[in-house]
Structure 1
């Protein structure tokens, strides 16, 4: 999950540059799913050929809805919001996902919550502390840290009206965070009936590409938007398709299957820290004291939640062991 957040951190910087260059977010999502399909299909076909469950019509419909929710709705909203805002804001808003996922997981019984147990209280505190750290990073600035050297990479800015940027970016990003939390919960349910992460990633890429293509034809009226040159647009599509939509989605499914949706989403605050670091050292953006304080609080909350979940897992194993001996 740490490697996943590292990969996602670079994604936001590359895609922001390509959107400023003129790449359509809808075309971007379509092409990235096609790239992911081409890369993941051979691995899924050969590595899970014997372990892959039989695909029924009901399961195919479930995967179709999973792709519709997680790719066409969530990803399109997410990247369109990036077009109107900046990477730091978009990534900071992702820190609401662990809290939303935790609430949904408890309500749907994917996560055990025992408030009479200190470890159950620790999980709640860890989630709330991480959310508080994210809010501090977003709302509190404080002193400005002096840049150590000039920007190593310059991303040209695209002029957007302040009111339009704030309103559209906020609404689109909040909606994408809600749908992404629902997507993680649905992943956990689907993986129980189809425990083949590589194949599931491939099916999601295939269905997601088809759905995104239909959506792009409706939303993007400029035919020239489909033409991609040998520039930052192609780089962002290949990186997002191969690394993010392919390898990272597979890693998320695998971690979701092993540890559950709350564990998987709890690492998203790390991307806020990583993007702030990259933006400061590489892009020359301003770094505030509030970002540093918020990052430390996020890490404390993350470790509290992980400790609560690991201790709960240990207790489950200990209580089950006498039954196995009998």
Structure 2
């Protein structure tokens, strides 16, 4: 009995980042549908982002203030400027582009394109030497092949539709369709989606760099929420001058804002920061395909959205490529752990020899 409990404990310890990222993808999946329903109800995406991060900042602030009082580094001007840019990439700029693109396209398309973030993040990490790449061994080859295969899968989902899958029953929930979803709107949404993927990849990389100088996860999450909300508010005021755009009722708009603030911008961002600190930015982005599957399945079975053969084939290829990349990274970490152990053993042996010489 004790042995079984020990094995379970060891399993949870080893795969804690993996389990947390899977939970995060479930949270993201629900966000796609609740925000689409809210936007179709009339909620302005820019106002939603502003309110959502105000909620996140207010909820996270007391935890950050009291739990990290002793470990929070001093906030210098240079560090605040870095957090400002980090907030712009993760909230002010990227999320505004992302949710506007969701308004012009569909949840399935947007979440499919999000799978490019893992490959883009990997390439940027290799260029900045945040990711180890040695193509002379199987692990390095696995990471390169995984990146290329995942890109092929994304291109398949984007460019090839194929036959539509037949619906087995009527949708359980009906969300009113978008107005004005013409070719021009779809093209605009596609461009915004691709651009947000690039800036999001840079955001993940910058998180890893900022955490080395500001390793207070709760405080960093709170800062990004407040600063990002201020950035989004400035942009929203410039674009929307009417008071009606800022008014929301106690309906789907309110609940989508609360959910997005507490769960997505609060808990999930905190999970991502912790996993980035433990495993690196590439690891965090590898789990996006899981959300792709959940969104496609729910959109098909629950909402009655069309599901094409190209989406299924592309998703399978993407997942295969990204988890080949994950296998390569896990191998790197095992080698790194062994090197650390050998280095520690060598240090201990040298220390023991020095003590024997003294004696």
For Structure 1 versus Structure 2, the TM-score category normalised by the shorter chain is: over 0.9
Distance 1:161 1:312, change over 3 A: closer
Confirm whether residue 186 of structure 1 aligns to residue 206 of structure 2: yes
Confirm whether residue 172 of structure 1 aligns to residue 177 of structure 2: no
Structure 1 unmatched runs, 5+: none
| Residue in structure 2 matching 1:293, options 295, 303, 313 | 313
Q: Could you tell me which residue of structure 2 aligns to residue 68 of structure 1?
A: 88
- Give the aligned length: 326
Deviations 1:270-292 (A, max 9, x none): 22111101101110112223322
Of stretches 264-273 and 68-77 in structure 1, the one that deviates more from structure 2 is: 264-273
Equivalent residue runs for 1:75-114 within 5 Å: 75-114=95-134
Distance across 2 between alignment mates of 1:243 and 1:64? 22
| Residue in structure 2 matching 1:36, options 56, 68, 77 | 56
Confirm whether residue 156 of structure 1 aligns to residue 179 of structure 2: no
| Residue in structure 2 matching 1:238, options 258, 262, 280 | 258
Confirm whether residue 131 of structure 1 aligns to residue 154 of structure 2: no
- Normalised by the length of structure 2, the TM-score is 0.87
SS for the counterpart of 1:287 is coil
| Residue in structure 1 matching 2:219, options 167, 174, 199 | 199
Distance across 1 between alignment mates of 2:153 and 2:45? 30
Shift of 1:173: 1.0
Deviations 1:177-199 (A, max 9, x none): 11111111111100011111111
Of stretches 230-239 and 126-135 in structure 1, the one that deviates more from structure 2 is: 126-135
Shift of 1:49: 2.3
Contact 2:105–2:181 (8 Å) recurs in 1: no
- Normalised by the length of structure 1, the TM-score is 0.96
| Residue in structure 1 matching 2:272, options 249, 252, 274 | 252
Distance across 2 between alignment mates of 1:132 and 1:254? 30
Contact 2:92–2:232 (8 Å) recurs in 1: yes
Distance across 2 between alignment mates of 1:142 and 1:213? 42
Q: Could you tell me which residue of structure 2 aligns to residue 315 of structure 1?
A: 335
Deviations 1:49-104 (A, max 9, x none): 22222222211111111111211100001011111111111111111111111111
SS for the counterpart of 1:145 is coil
Distance across 2 between alignment mates of 1:273 and 1:127? 19
Deviations 1:93-136 (A, max 9, x none): 11111111111111111111111121011011112222222222
Of stretches 150-159 and 285-294 in structure 1, the one that deviates more from structure 2 is: 285-294
